[in-house]
Each structure stands twice: as C-alpha cells, then as structure tokens.
Structure 1
Amino acid sequence: MPATPGRWWAARRGLDIGPDAILAWGVTSGADIFCWYTADPDPDRWPVLVCGRHTRDGFTLYACGMAEFLRRVLLDEFEEYPLSIDVRGGEPTFVHWLEQQRRWKAGLDPHTGEPDPFADMLPR
C-alpha cells in the first residue's frame, strides 16, 4: 500500500489509519500509547489502538473498548501480551489523586499508604 501524506507511519505497519482518526488517552512507563480509533461516529464503538514502543508490532488494533482492554490486560487475557512493560502478576489498585496527595503530605507512600522511608528528604 503506498503511503499518503499523514499516513506514512500507519502504512509502514499495514494499517490504513491517519492521525486525524486517532485520539490518545493513555501511556505506559514503557512508552506504549493507548488510543481510540475514532472512525465510527459513535464513541461507544471506538476500538483501542496501541502504539507499542517495544512490542512486536508497532501498531495493533483491538476490537474492544477501553474498559474491556484494560480488564483483559490486567487479567492477562490476551493471546499475545500487548504492552512493552509487564504489569501481570500484581494486584491492581486505584488510588484517587487526592488520596495520593494526602498520603504524600503525611509522609506516606502515595500508592501503598505505607510509611515512606524517604519522606523526610522531600519538601512537603
């Protein structure tokens, strides 16, 4: 498939998706970018597109929405793992940013709530 302006990167990977149909919504510490493919006028039907930094395929489209994609990642339900970093094996948790801030100010680890041994080294 010949590359057209604005589509060169997708064409290299065999996808015919231009940047005008992509909306990024997340990123991993491994530099993977989570996007929606927005070609459908109904946002409830937008599949997930992963731009993988260190994955086998640079761009992979998943026929599911964001919540289902994240559920399947966390429960290791993909045949081929879709991320550059491995988050399997842990116990996923969610901590609201206000709670993280409260913990940090109290000298606790913002994610676990446990005492932070480095708390006295950081300005509060």
Structure 2
Amino acid sequence: MISGPGEAPIDVEQQTSDARFHFARVRTGLPDEVTDASALRGWGDSDAADTLAWIAVDPDPDRWPVVVWSRSKGRWLVQESGMVDFLVGLLAGELAECPLSDRSLWGCPEQEYIPWWEE
C-alpha cells in the first residue's frame, strides 16, 4: 500500500510486528533457516490483510527474499526474489501462484504509477 496525501506513512515497525505475530502462530511455508521471528522484516500489506515481509537471514539485504503471510491460505508463501521482482511478477501474473488473498492485482501488467500530487 502506498500512502496518499493526508495519510500516515507506512509503519514498517507495525508491519514487522504483524509478520512476527503471524510467525508465532503459524510457520507453515517458511524455510528451515527461519528459526526466529527476528528474521522477518515487514514492508507492506494487501487490501485483504496479507502481510508482506523480507526474510532477513542473509547479512546482504539484496539477498532477502520476499515472504507473504496469506490470510486466505493460512500459510506463508516464499518468493525467491527481491521486492521489485516480486511486484513485477505479481502484476504480470508470472509467480507460481497468486500470493495475495485479493487477486485484483494478479496478472494486471498494464499498471501506471501516478503520484498523488498528479491525480
């Protein structure tokens, strides 16, 4: 989600807290190296209350894969890519499956970013 005018910016601490909350309840789908909730760093959510995070076990942030807590599936879905490739794959419908509970962005490659000040 992107904040607009008059809206609070995305709270990364809250996103991280959400990811760690889900980790405490369900670990299905997470790789074995994710042994502690501190490995998760939240960065977003979906309209359907899915949580988007990085698995931050590598010291190099460029190697952090994206993981999605899918509320509808009740499990974690790991994407072996960074955030940009994840978002492109989501919009193009090129991921192995739609990781989000809401499919409104799945396979919609004709997206255009318009900053709020130009709307």
Structure 1 and Structure 2 fold alike (TM over 0.5): yes
1:37 alignment partner AA: I
Structure 1 unmatched ranges of 5 or more: 1-5, 101-124
Choose the corresponding residue for 1:27, options 31, 45, 67: 45
Q: Which has the larger radius of gyration?
A: 1
TM-score between both structures, scaled by the size of structure 2: 0.67
For 2:54, give the aligned amino acid.
W
TM-score normalized with structure 1 length? 0.65
Give SS of 2:113's match.
coil
Q: Secondary structure at the match of 2:90?
A: helix
SS in 1 for 2:58: coil
- 1:82: which partner in 2? 99
**AA at the equivalent of 1:22:** L
Q: Deviations over 1:22-60 (max 9, x none)?
A: 1111111011111011110000000001011113x5111
Query: How do 1:13-92 and structure 2 match up within 5 A?
Result: 13=28, 15=30, 16=32, 17=34, 18-55=36-73, 58-86=75-103, 87-90=105-108, 91-92=110-111
Partner residue, 2:9? none
Using the aligned pairs only, state the percent identity.
Answer: 37
Report how many residues are paired.
Answer: 93
Q: Aligned partners of 2:47 and 2:25: how far apart in 1?
A: 22
Query: For residues 64 and 44 of structure 1, what CA distance do their matches in structure 2 show?
Result: 9
Distance 2:112 2:101 in 1: 20
Task: Answer yes or no: is the 8 Å Cα contact 2:94–2:107 preserved in 1.
Answer: no
Q: Show the counterpart of 1:104.
A: none
